[in-house]
Amino acid sequence: MEQGYVVLDFDYRGSAGFGRDYRTDIYRSMGMSDVDGAVAAVDWLAREHGVDPTRVGMYGVSYGGFFTLMSLFRYPGVFAAGVSNDGVTDWAHYSDGWTSRILNLPTEDEEAYRISSPIYHAEGLADPLLLVHGIVDGNVHFQDAARLVQRLLELEKNFDVMYYPLEAHNFDHFHGRFDYYRRIADLFRRELLER
């Protein structure tokens, strides 16, 4: 905030603590109504707080990284830049114990996984994206990020990527954390403040 940013910490749909309907609204469609809420938040920030809607960025870790990908892919031009850290790119490759409660099993509900997985929406990328992933991530496996990178290359999209050899799902090493936050700061300064 001291550098001129307005910060909104967004509790996306599917989060606990807001009632059953809020929590279950993403059934069979993660990245749909929850991302629609983020788009509505941009309008709210502009209307209620005078934020320039052309200078809104997004970043997140894990589900927040997935959320960032879906936001940029589904709504090109709404977010000026995004950073996805350890984000799920294909729910069919994630822990089915957690995911199956929301999307059913991949073998039983392929459509829910297609709707909900960023890799199937990657053609929408039009804004600056920094894709970050820890190579030893035991939660969202590195291969998930590598598959998305390959898809973005095939689509001839512009994006930046950074892999961290020593980092797991949470960045625990000083050099990795320092570099990660430096990259976020550089991207947002360039795309949100200086543009």
- Residues with active-site annotation: 62, 137, 169
Query: How far apart are alpha carbons 30 and 38 in whole angstroms?
Result: 13
- Alpha helices in the chain, H assignment, sequence order: 20-24, 33-49, 63-74, 96-103, 110-116, 142-154, 174-188
SS3 assignment, position 94:
coil
What is the torsion angle, in degrees rounded to the nearest 10, for the CA atoms of residue 32, residue 35, residue 40 and residue 42?
Answer: -160
Kindly state the tokens that stand for 11. Answer: 């509790």
Query: How far apart are alpha carbons 189 and 195 in whole angstroms?
Result: 8
